[in-house]
Amino acid sequence: MAIATVNATRMELTRLKNRLRTATRGHKLLKDKRDELMKQFLDVVRENRALRKKVEEALMRAHGSFTVASALMSSEMLEASLLYPKQSVELDMTFKNIMSVNVPQYTFHTKTTDPGEIYPYGFATTSCELDDAVDALSGVFQDMLKLAQIEKTSQLLAEEIEKTRRRVNALEYVMIPQMQEQIKYITMKLDENDRNTTIRLMKVKDMILKEAIEERQEAVKEALNKA
């Protein structure tokens, strides 16, 4: 809203002051939200960095074991050993609210709790390196799921921080200064109108007083003439 289009009335002034109070309060709340989101985001980033390093190290160990196993076993035997898995997994997803941001929470459940079910083959025809690789992958799976959850959380938090930052800047640098300028303009206009009204009243008062004096003088002259 440009200043030129503002109605310089007391009703408009009251409305703008109420809007300014609301905008100022909203600006403070958004800044507090942005600061808390940044704190949460940095905590998630630190956790993500540590967990990613742990997952990469575990995957390197599993890859090394698979490399050795593939060197010791024929490709046909390796493929046949892993073709029909015995264990199955169910993945559940829920949501957690962080400062009005719904971030995912992943959990998985295996069909059975028997740790031996992760090996879909007999031990007599396979190498121990394959056992190590399967065991390493089974152990890192939970961390990989946690890493996916944390990375999605960091992405959602970053998007919310950017949206909140834009809203804070819009209020701080556009809306609030604009309303303050409009309030200043209307106040100046109303003060100017009040001064003009006061001057007009003073002039009217002087005119009435002058007429009263002239009438009084005329009455005195008439009385003297009659005497």
Q: How is 161-180 classified by DSSP, letter by letter?
A: HHHHHHHHHHIIIIIHHHHH
Q: Could you give the 3-state DSSP secondary structure of residue 91?
A: strand
pLDDT of residue 29: 94
Domains and CATH numbers, the chain: 7-175 (1.10.287.3240)
Nearest one of 150, 187, 201 to 20, comparing CA atoms:
187
pLDDT of residue 89: 77
pLDDT of residue 3: 59
Given CA atoms 14, 18, 19, 23 in this order, what sign does their dihedral have? Answer: positive
Residues of the chain with pLDDT under 70: 1-4, 84, 114-117, 120-125, 227
pLDDT of residue 124: 61
What does the pLDDT look like over 95-153, one tens digit per residue? Answer: 999 888 899 998 887 777 766 667 766 666 677 777 788 788 887 888 889 999 999 99
